[in-house]
Structure 1
């Protein structure tokens, strides 16, 4: 290739690349209103964005991949935690995390009720943006350093985590993939919002929600003590009730409810079929 041909190749390649870039840019801007749900940007959402900036939330948190990495990514936080939990958390973060135990403590920003409501509306809008799957997984606030805590039960069996038999403490062997326990495990990790975003299956590891290990023993204990005020008479009924009617009995502690309403999402009874709930119950009770 001589100099003239080389020059022409460079000019044509640059022109084609520039044209492609221009076309993709225009197409992206064409899709932005739909991808960002622009029609849902209300005055409350705009005020919430101003609150986000006024309190410098981005100095610790990330949204859509932008910000600091000192604290969890909040892109999907409203879908993972829900407005009641976030409201109570922002009013008094010290009720949820202890600096000595968890080695972190979000400061009490002294936000007004209106500011809290607005910033939750903003975060809810952010979480509904079509962001092509970002973040790839929720960033847990606690418990992620527990050996095997982020592995599935089947992974732990394969890789030999936990007891000498290859199972984590208290776990039963998982049946084939078409069995209720295995299907329940899949739901635990894929339901919307995902159960694993708030709950750990490791004994004593409490995240946004209490550990779900040993639910059968836990139910028998609260039933015998008179603490339980729900309608369930068996552990299976108790777990089902906790999934489809979470406020029927409130787990003790300010981290899990406020004003007589559980922070647990109330939509599972509508979004999941009876069979799927049965599968979740089977999986959760497989941890003795």
Structure 2
């Protein structure tokens, strides 16, 4: 290829690439409203976005993979944490860390209740945006891993979806362990299986023994009569009994999401109970 041919090739290639870029940009703009559920944007959500910018949250966190990469990506945080948890965290992040052990880095921003409410609404709206599996990297939240490409806005163990691992066969305990790592919101985002490792929620190590002690305690406020029943109740109705003195609840509401009865089938919940019952 001589210089003239090289010059023509470069010009043509640049022109084709420019046309493709402009075409894709125009196409994207025609899809933005549908992908972002723009019809659901309220003044409160808009104010929540302003709060996000006002307090420079992007200096540490990312949305859709864009930001400082210093703290976890929050694109799907509203699908991993309940509203009560997010509000309590924003009020006082220090309550969620032992500064001597974890070296708390999240500053207390002194947000007003209105700012907190609207920021949570903004993050909830963000979590429902069809982000086409982006960013494609795993997101770490409190020691758990969520692959956005796989779990996105509607991924994971949705009702009726087969999440059975090939190696697990029909053993409900093996299927339950798989669900523990793949259900949405993913259990490992808040719970460790290691003794003494407390994340956003308590460690599941010794779950069966604690359940047996709890249901015979005079302070127990739930309706379960045995260990499997208590574990099931903890999954489908986490606010039925709040452990006295624990930091995993606020104003009589557990931080744990109460949506598993909708996102999991009864059989899947039974499998999850079977697995957790083995953690003695």
Give TM-score scaled by structure 1 length: 0.82
Partner of 2:244: 252
| Map 1:201-280 → 2, pairs under 5 A | 201-253=193-245, 255-280=247-272
Deviation at 1:234, TM superposition (A): 1.4
Measure how far apart 1:267 and its partner are: 1.5
Contact 1:98 1:105 in 2 (8 A): no
Secondary structure in structure 1 of the residue aligned to 2:139: coil
Aligned counterparts of 2:54 and 2:246: Cα–Cα separation in 1: 28
Alpha-carbon separation, structure 2, partners of 1:285 and 1:27: 51
* Structure 1 unmatched runs, 5+: 151-174
Q: Deviations over 1:44-74 (max 9, x none)?
A: 1110011111111122222221222332221
The alpha-carbon deviation at position 237 of structure 1 amounts to 0.7
Instruction: Specify whether residues 214 and 38 from structure 1 end up closer, same or farther in structure 2 by C-alpha distance, changes over 3 A only.
Output: same
CA apart distance, 1:254 = 5.0
Q: Determine the C-alpha separation between the residues in 2 that align with 1:253 and 1:130.
A: 39
Aligned length: 258
Q: Work out the CA distance in 2 between the residues paired with 1:206 and 1:287.
A: 15
Gaps of 5+ in 2: 146-166
> Contact 1:138–1:197 at 8 Å: present in 2 too?
no
**Cα distance in 1, alignment partners of residues 243 and 47 from structure 2:** 34
TM-score (normalised: structure 2): 0.84
Q: Distance in 1 between matches of 2:77 and 2:5?
A: 55
Pairwise CA distance, 1:2: 4.5
CA RMSD of aligned residues (A): 2.1
Matches within 5 A, 1:1-288: 1-135=1-135, 136-141=137-142, 144=143, 176-253=168-245, 255-288=247-280
CA offset digits 1:179-208 (Å, max 9, x no partner): 212221222222221111111111111111
Q: Say which is worse superposed, 58-67 or 112-121, in terms of deviation.
A: 58-67
